[in-house]
Amino acid sequence: MLRPSSVGDFKTKAILAISLLITGCPKSDKIIGEEVAKLTAPPEVPPPITRKHNTKVIVHLEVLEKRMKIADGVDYTFWTFGGTVPGSFIRIKEGDLVEFHLSNHPTSKMPHNIDLHAVTGPGGGASASMTAPGRETIFSFKALNHGLFVYHCAAAPIGMHVGNGMYGLILVEPKEGLPKVDREHYVMQGDFYTKGKYGEQGYQPFSMEKAIEEKPTYVLFNGSVGALNGDKALPAKVGETVRLYVGNGGPNLTSSFHLIGEIFEKVYVEGGTSVNRNLATTTVPAGGAAIVEFKIDVPGTYIMVDHAILRAFNKGALGMIKAEGPEDKIIYSGLISERVYLPEGGALPKTPEAEVRIAKSLEERIRMGQTIYEQNCTACHQADGRGVPHAFPPLANSDFLNADKTRAIGIVKGGLSGPIVVNGESYNGVMPALSLTDEEVANVLTYVYSAWGNSKQTVTPEEAAKVKPSGVVGIGQ
C-alpha cells in the first residue's frame, strides 16, 4: 500500500521546509505547492496522505461509456467515472484546494457532469461541469469538511446516469489523518435496472420503467455479480484491522450493510465524524457512505451483504473477505456435533393435505418442476442453475448431478452436507432437506435434468418413492 515518496513529494517537502524556516510553523490552511491526485480503481484505495500541509490537488477524472459484464453472460452499458463502477476513488485532505478536471471521452453519446458531496456550493460542482463528448471542464473547490462523500453525475435524466453506474467516493481526510489500519478497501453498492430479468443472457438495456418503479433487477457491490467473490474476494489476515470505505450510489435503495460473522468495532456513521461502536449492520443511504473497521480474529470467508436479504440471494448483493491465519476455537468453535432432536409429544399434527396435482405428461412434469425449482432452489442454485462460485454448486451442466440419479433423489429428499466436488470445484456447504412429495421430487428433478445442458433423464414419482433420504450428514464423508 505504501509507496516511496515521489519527486513531486520531495519538491513540496522542500518548499514546506523553506516556508517553515520563514514562517516558523505551518499555517493550518495555507496551500503549499501542488500535486496530481493518484486515483484508484475499486476495490483499491489510494495510500493514506502523509503530508502535514495543505496543497493544491489536481484531479483528472475521465468519463467513459462502456459495455461491461454485469453478470455471467450478461452485458450492460455502464456510464463510468474512470472506466469502472464505482468510479475512481479520490483521496484528499481537509483544507486542500482541489482543481477538478472532468473530461468526457469523444466516443461518448451523452454529456455528463459531476456533483461531489464534498463540495460546498450550489450544485456541488454539477452546474460548473456539464461536459459534452470530447470536451473537458475545470472548476475548483476547497475541501472545507472532512468525511467520506459520494460523488455522482447529475445530468438529466439523473436517474439514468446514476442508474448506469456514475458514482464513486471521495475521502476528505481530517487534518490529523485517520488512525492507521492494516488494510483499506473500497466497496460501493448500486441498484441496476435491466430490460430482462436477473441473469437473462446477452446484452441488456436499461429499463426506465423498472427504475421509476424502483424495482431493481440487480443490487450489486462494485458493479457486477461476483465482483468481490471467489478469486476476487478481498484479502485479509488474522490479527489485522480492516477498514472498508463503503458507499451506496443508489439510485434508489438504502443499504443495510452487514458483514456476516463480524462486528464493526468502529463505524463512522454515514461517513461523518460521529463514531458508533460494535455494530453488526449499518445503514448506508443512497448517495451516502460509511466507514467501517473491524479486527479479524478468526480465519475464513466473511460474506458481506445488503441485509435486506433477498437482494443478497436473488439480486447479487454479496461480496467476500477471505481471511487467512491460525484458527482460534475459543472465539469460534465451528460445528461441534449434530444429532437428532425428538421433541416430547412426538411430531406436529399433520395439516390436511392439499389436493395433489399429478403431472399428466413429460411437458407438464417439467413445467410443474420449474415452479417448484423457482420456489425452493433459486435462492442458492440461482435461476440459471449456475449456483454461486465457491458457495453453492452449479446444477447446470453438472457432472455430479448427471452421474447418479438415485443420489440426486436422495439429496433432494434428505439434504446434503460435507465436501463434494462438482465440475472440478470443491464445495463444502449445507443443503437442507426439502419437504417435498414424491411427485414434487420427480417434477423438480425432471425439470433440472431437462435444463441447462443436463442429461435429460426423467424421474418418476415411483422412482422417487423408492429412494431413501440421504440423511443430512452422509455423502462424501
Q: Where does this chain bind other proteins (CB under 8 A)?
A: 65-67, 77, 106-111, 113, 123, 126-127, 130-135, 154-161, 164, 195, 205-209, 212
| Amino acid, res. 435 | S
- Report which of 172, 103, 170 is spatially closest to residue 138, judged by C-alpha positions: 103
Read off the C-alpha cell for 433.
432437506
Phi, psi of 350, rounded to the nearest 5 degrees:
-75, 135
Q: Minimum Å distance from CB 86 to other proteins?
A: 19
Minimum gap (Å) between residue 125 Cβ and other proteins: 10
Tell me whether residue 24 or residue 202 sits nearer to other proteins (CB atom): 202
Minimum CB–partner distance for residue 73 and other proteins (Å): 17
Q: Which is nearer to other proteins, 161 or 381 (CB)?
A: 161
Nearest approach in angstroms of CB 262 to other proteins is: 37
Burial (0-12, 13-18, 19+ Cβ within 10 Å), 349:
exposed
Task: Quote the least distance from Cβ 141 to other proteins, whole Å.
Answer: 16
For the bound state, the minimum distance from the C-beta of residue 227 to other proteins, rounded and expressed in Å, comes to 20
Q: How far is the CB of 422 from other proteins (least distance, A)?
A: 35
Whole-number Å distance between alpha carbons of 147 and 143: 10
- Alpha-carbon distance of 225 to 382, in angstroms, equals 12
For residue 39, the 8-state DSSP code is P
Contact between 295 and 182 under an 8 Å Cβ cutoff? The reply is no
| Smaller CB separation from other proteins, 130 or 236 | 130
Contacts of 188 (CB under 8 A, 6+ apart): 42, 86, 167, 168, 169, 221, 222, 246, 247, 248, 249
Taking the C-alpha atoms of residue 461 and residue 438, their distance in angstroms, rounded to an integer, is 5
Decide whether 205 or 432 has the Cβ nearer to other proteins: 205
Q: How far is the CB of 75 from other proteins (least distance, A)?
A: 8
CB of 317 to other proteins, least distance (A): 23
In angstroms, the Cα distances linking 347 to 47, 149, 219, 473 are 60, 55, 41, 21
Strands 54-71 and 31-36: what pairing? parallel
* Smallest distance from other proteins to CB 67, Å: 4
Distance, CA of 456 to CA of 458 (rounded, Å): 6
Q: Where are the alpha helices (DSSP H) in 204-336?
A: 208-212, 310-314
- Residue (104 or 443) nearer to other proteins, CB: 104
For 239, the 3-state DSSP assignment is coil
For residues 393 and 400, the answer to whether their CB atoms sit within 8 Å is: yes
Closer by beta carbon to other proteins, 249 or else 461: 249
- Cα-based distances in Å from 321 to 36, 234, 413: 31, 5, 33
Give which of 476, 477, 440, 432 is closest to 460, Cα–Cα: 440
> What's the alpha-carbon Rg for the chain, to the nearest Å?
27
| Closer to other proteins by Cβ: residue 62 or 262 | 62
Output the CA–CA distances (angstroms, integers) from residue 377 to 128, 197, 348, in the order listed: 51, 17, 25
Shortest Å distance, C-beta 131 to other proteins:
7
Q: Which residues contact 23 (CB under 8 A, 6 or more apart)?
A: none
164 vs 446, beta carbon nearer other proteins: 164
> CA of 469: how far to CAs of 226, 407, 409, 429, 456, in Å?
33, 9, 8, 18, 22
Closest CB to other proteins among residues 103, 207? 207
Nearer to other proteins, 110 or 451 (CB): 110
Residue 67 has phi, psi (to 5 degrees) of -85, 130
C-beta of 78 vs 400, nearer to other proteins: 78
Answer yes or no: are the C-beta atoms of 190 and 307 closer than 8 Å. Answer: no
> Would you say 287 or 389 has its CB closer to other proteins?
287
Give the nearest distance from C-beta 74 to other proteins in angstroms.
Answer: 14
